[in-house]
Structure 1
């Protein structure tokens, strides 16, 4: 076959296959160019989901008339000039491929004016054929118009989806951009009608969070801001009770660039390991900042991915930061949206919005007294419960219960907060309901606690703390195990021998694809060490980190804590119930049991008043 040079138009169309996947790809490239040009406001006009028309208008610095033809030629950019620039690039776009690629598969018009110019200039490109620069009236800034996307590449056009689908992809990318750049005003219209407007504001304002992800996320998220080792991680993570069925609210930005990274996603998943209900996904908006020379942003044509120079450090930094954030909140410390009777799930389970978040480390108590089901009719219950609490040393219903301390009033006549009034966040126990739930009264209203779930978490955290102090012990094997693995796994085992030893595995390489295992973690001796070791090696190879051993250990400790926790229909005295509440307030992650189920709910007095129409 004869070797020949490809024509420029075909080269650009091939590049368009990498850069321009769908209308959302065009919007992304053009809006990023506008931001790099210093725009403070960007207007996006769309027709038919962006297939018929995409018009991006900005108030940025503009392009000189003589540079317009250069702007639509391949690998022409104002953003880098040397390899040093490329290794420390801070702009969103820099390859110089976007405009020529887009222009090669559309009817393309570029109009721009610099602030000191008398008029604007326009350049048209039709399917890659560049016209002449013409004068045109235009405000300072740039307008890029893309009509009939893929009109000359029918095979690509056939793969575009329905108008609503393509518009949805554009809106999702703009939502991601709005989170990263709240200082920029974005106005969107579709088929001649305004559809969305993101007003400029502060990075940490709840208004922008509410506009993009909804008020629920803004209310139910935790602020994170931690620096160390030349890294900074800041943003918001959802409280465990605000979880999702899919990963549709997970946004990661590296030096302001929206990216996907498997290592960071894995670190986040690990941090939420034992606080999320199975199958649920956390929501987060995280900004990772580091020296640009420590990250390569030039590994993907559309710049969706990055490569870190030290991915293990990044992974550990993200994991530790989020784990600490989730652990350091305490039960009752963060007020959440109260549950309403109309939003209780079938079976009486409070909705996610009603659950609290917790954390800390507390004592592990053993409640021994037994309470069999009373099985009484409603009219028989008062006397029986009076005897129950009288006999247990608690409060008898035949005598008035000691009231909560009176709430102090500030000079303005408003009640002070729980902390100011001296009332604990979870209040004081007043009763046990069906031998399952503890009812407590705090300064704001009613607290309902699932006593088994709460005690299970308290015991679990206590066991973890005790075991962490002891460390992982290795149990030597009488006869070493020969484990057949892939060559890459064998390489990892040889390279990470010290890491494996710290986890309780003594492993030596026996051949190109075989290992000798001479010891295993003592606590997991009854598990399947071969399968566990394979998973550990897979994690070390892919992420540079592993929590497989710790996870298996935690699963065992969780089972132990579950069996040791107070069971339903146990009779607890009021002092015992109050002791459980105090331990919840001091225990890490006590808002969820070991399986991710909520342990408590809060109902404000105002909400309860609405149930009974009081004050109306």
Structure 2
């Protein structure tokens, strides 16, 4: 008796589903990509039960006739590939012909489609991989694919699914990845009849799609990047170093408009930012890498999330150059318009002075000055400075990115002398030094200590005359609803006010003048997941958000008395907890060195 036997088609499809269909998000990804390959300009996704109960994908693509509707449910049947050489010129999302039969094998699947101008449409129903049932249906534009009771016939896979809220987040992320790559397509995602993600087509301004997908607060921080090399083009947008995230989830890379996860690409982006971000923070980046189709292998991952480049070093170098070129130009500092603008000119002058003084300080300590070149561009990065043996590093020199704690009484001894560029405070320090302070970072540090103290006291929201109503995006509203206990622990009194509106009745002292919508949207992203301890560690990111927003307005309007009071607070502050803007002392420069170089 033979010990080897051919597997049945049904079993083959279920095995394939284990690779292609990992969770509801995998189903949504595959079906939405099919809609895009069909030329759709509008894609709607309706979900129930986090996608495990029901997924409906509707599009306005070119649809299918009856023969194609049946063939698409057979394994390795596809319209995107005919011969091996076609793999070298692929422009479509899918090409293996595995997704639809794999999905139909582990769900109750229905396909309703019609060709343009057809008099009769086609409905095909497949239950758990059984033979398809075909019937006439009303004609329609495009295709509707319905997936119900996902994994109902594979309980081993079903038990590994997470809660509906968790699966829903994965679905939302899958749609966002596709939406970022296709701003020319309109997307609507809803769950239980409520909108989850909505973004109309915006082919003229992709930053609108980025803001819709990743949050409106990132919009003013976005700047375009572009790098063109032989056979490689890098375009997209990156956020300024002023906008950071606690994880690398804000790094989106697309190869030929296909979302991919590639360690080399992420590493190149992080290297480009390494001089600009404080420790533990990550950038927000949306980059598109376009290469010749024959120079990239997309057939190396079951879900096509990884690729292999024929010239990986060249691609990584191009990505690094694109990021570094934009960061060195420091566009977030503003650029001078054709007409003279004194405030912007002062900002540029302050930036140039800072770079000069930093180089002068390096020269004073024996570090060789690099020869100027045309490639040099302004940079706000601060790198560790060399320190001669036997000399203790001054505050801000040993760990300038972290701005470690100063000597006792350091800040109280500073004598304010004026404002530079409308932003930085210039002070005379002890021992004959020139000290440049960032008032926003200073005030943020002081307020962070206040919020930590309130958290330790645990008094909860205090009665307040403050009150307003805020309408929020659906993801933010959902996060705030689930995080009301954490908000109360932080000193907020927030109540649902119908739909996605919230009544903000009380805020912690110091946040009365903050923008309520911006504050709540930022807190929604910073609140810890359910089950996290609501202490200083679990709420660390939320505390940083509060401190940053508390410093946004007042920092630019400090009087001399307020500045002196703030300097006194800094002497008693703990500099170990990280802030979003951690560099309080931007520059510390011996005045004697300036005098020596001026001779």
CA distance in 1, matches of 2:419, 2:13: 76
Q: 1:62 Cα deviation (Å)?
A: 1.0
CA contact (8 A) 1:426 1:581 kept: no
Equivalent residues in 2 for 1:523-562, closer than 5 Å: 555=384, 557=386
- Normalized against structure 1, the TM-score is what? 0.60
Q: 1:332 Cα deviation (Å)?
A: 3.9
Q: Secondary structure at the match of 2:276?
A: coil
- Residue 107, structure 1, aligned to residue 104, structure 2: no
CA contact (8 A) 2:359 2:369 kept: no
Write the deviation string for residues 153-192 of structure 1: whole angstroms up to 9, x where unpaired: 0010111111111111111111122211111111222123
If asked which structure has higher relative contact order (CA below 8 Å, sep 6+), I would say: 1
After superposition, the Cα gap between the structure-2 partners of 1:301 and 1:462, relative to the gap in structure 1 and judged at 3 Å, is: farther
CA distance in 2, matches of 1:591, 1:314: 39
CA contact (8 A) 2:221 2:332 kept: no
CA distance in 2, matches of 1:97, 1:570: 69
Write the deviation string for residues 43-86 of structure 1: whole angstroms up to 9, x where unpaired: 11111011011111111111110122211111110001112211
Q: Secondary structure at the match of 2:319?
A: helix
Q: 1:572 Cα deviation (Å)?
A: 8.7
CA distance in 2, matches of 1:71, 1:321: 41
CA distance in 1, matches of 2:25, 2:333: 43
- Residue 420, structure 1, aligned to residue 318, structure 2: no
Aligned to 1:358: none
- Superposition RMSD on alpha carbons, in Å? 4.3
**Structure having the higher Rg:** 1
Q: 1:236 Cα deviation (Å)?
A: 1.0
CA contact (8 A) 1:49 1:167 kept: yes
Q: Secondary structure at the match of 2:45?
A: strand
Equivalent residues in 2 for 1:429-440, closer than 5 Å: none
Contiguous gaps of at least 5 residues in structure 1: 336-416, 429-441, 471-552, 583-589
- Residue 130, structure 1, aligned to residue 131, structure 2: yes
Aligned to 1:236: 237
After superposition, the Cα gap between the structure-2 partners of 1:454 and 1:581, relative to the gap in structure 1 and judged at 3 Å, is: farther
Aligned to 1:297: 298
Q: 1:226 Cα deviation (Å)?
A: 2.1
CA contact (8 A) 1:418 1:425 kept: no
Contiguous gaps of at least 5 residues in structure 2: 373-381, 388-392, 401-405, 427-435, 446-547, 563-599
Aligned to 1:6: 7
Aligned to 1:260: 261
CA contact (8 A) 1:460 1:561 kept: no
The answer to which of 567-576 and 17-26 deviates more is 567-576
- Residue 142, structure 1, aligned to residue 143, structure 2: yes
CA contact (8 A) 2:346 2:421 kept: no
After superposition, the Cα gap between the structure-2 partners of 1:168 and 1:460, relative to the gap in structure 1 and judged at 3 Å, is: farther
After superposition, the Cα gap between the structure-2 partners of 1:461 and 1:274, relative to the gap in structure 1 and judged at 3 Å, is: farther
After superposition, the Cα gap between the structure-2 partners of 1:122 and 1:330, relative to the gap in structure 1 and judged at 3 Å, is: closer
Q: 1:116 Cα deviation (Å)?
A: 2.9
Aligned to 1:48: 49
CA contact (8 A) 1:296 1:308 kept: yes
After superposition, the Cα gap between the structure-2 partners of 1:250 and 1:144, relative to the gap in structure 1 and judged at 3 Å, is: same
Aligned to 1:93: 94
CA contact (8 A) 1:13 1:104 kept: yes
CA distance in 2, matches of 1:459, 1:330: 25
After superposition, the Cα gap between the structure-2 partners of 1:462 and 1:99, relative to the gap in structure 1 and judged at 3 Å, is: farther
CA distance in 2, matches of 1:317, 1:108: 44
CA distance in 1, matches of 2:156, 2:171: 22
CA contact (8 A) 1:108 1:126 kept: yes
Q: Secondary structure at the match of 1:129?
A: coil
CA distance in 1, matches of 2:217, 2:200: 19
Equivalent residues in 2 for 1:344-355, closer than 5 Å: none
After superposition, the Cα gap between the structure-2 partners of 1:424 and 1:68, relative to the gap in structure 1 and judged at 3 Å, is: closer
Aligned residues: 418
Write the deviation string for residues 399-456 of structure 1: whole angstroms up to 9, x where unpaired: xxxxxxxxxxxxxxxxxx896144554469xxxxxxxxxxxxx9xxxx9x9x999955
Aligned to 1:160: 161
- Normalized against structure 2, the TM-score is what? 0.62
The answer to which of 419-428 and 228-237 deviates more is 419-428
Aligned to 2:531: none
Aligned to 2:327: 326
Aligned to 2:27: 26
Aligned to 1:75: 76
CA distance in 2, matches of 1:187, 1:181: 13
After superposition, the Cα gap between the structure-2 partners of 1:329 and 1:427, relative to the gap in structure 1 and judged at 3 Å, is: closer
